[in-house]
Amino acid sequence: IGTAAELCWFSDYVRTEKMSACAVLTSDIDLSGVKWTPIGEEYYTRYVGTFDGAGHSISGLNYDEKYSEYAGLFGYLGSGGTVKNLSVESGYVATGNVNSRAGGVCAMNYGGTVENCSFIGSVSAPGTGTRAGGVCGENYGGTVKNCYSSAAVTGADSGGVCGRNTGKVQNCYWLDTAYTGSGIGRDEGSSESVEAKTADEFASGEVTWLLNGMQKDGPWYQTLGSDAYPTLDSTHGKVVQNFGGVGGGFDCEI
């Protein structure tokens, strides 16, 4: 998939033909001006395939549907479904539906996996009983790992990463000035290394280093001095830890 039109076709194909369809992005995609329908719009059309962003980004997502139950780039990710290696930038996700789920990448993760993903933008689900998160609205028995968010989030149960968690959330971070609450609004599962980070910590390479499991060879990159956030674009630098000097720090290899 390499264009907005192809991505819209894929969303419709999952909804009408095959919930287990798999896809790989071949280029960055701009959804500006596109009327979006979430991939896996609801439980009965839930997405159970593998969607690999392959290090590319989707920008310009604008989804604002008053009656939507699952609002996000992905609506309902079912058991065995996977979304990975994907950045969502300049995104706006909103719903006014009571008891809805809203997430920058995925509204509901019911037993699936969201890994190596990021969201920059805003997520809004202000109704009573809602779950809203910068990455995932509700993680119900699934896994969210190695992800980050820089998003303003509004919801009854809201979090910088997840609104509600009954599964596993691991090694995920959010920008503390974008969302001033906790990483997980209601945590009834397992969470580890879910932490707020400052803009300076994001820009320094620290978050990239952590997302990569504290090693230089991983899916996340960052050219220090010019990139404010980690990126999955491999044309940027590899972050390495520098133990020299007071307090150490991070450098990058181009």
- 186-226: per-residue pLDDT in tens? 999 999 999 999 999 999 999 999 999 999 899 999 999 99
Tell how strand 50-52 and strand 23-24 pair up: parallel
Identify the residue whose tokens are 């896994």: 143
The pLDDT score that the predictor gives to residue 138 is 98
Separation in Å, CA 170 to CA 48, 114, 139, 191: 21, 11, 12, 6
User: What's the confidence (pLDDT) of residue 98?
Assistant: 92
Q: What is the rounded radius of gyration, in angstroms, for the C-alpha atoms of the chain?
A: 17
Low-confidence ranges of the chain (pLDDT < 50): 245-247
- Mind listing the pLDDT tens digit for each residue in 18-33? 999 999 999 999 999 9
Candidates 29, 22, 36; CA nearest to 70 is 36
pLDDT at 109: 98
* 3 state SS of 42: coil
Would you give the distance in Å from CA 230 to the centre of its chain? 13
Q: How far is CA 235 from CA 43, 82, 94, 186, 195, in A?
A: 38, 25, 33, 37, 27
* Pairwise CA distance, residues 58 & 232, whole Å: 12
Fill in the DSSP letter of residue 15: H
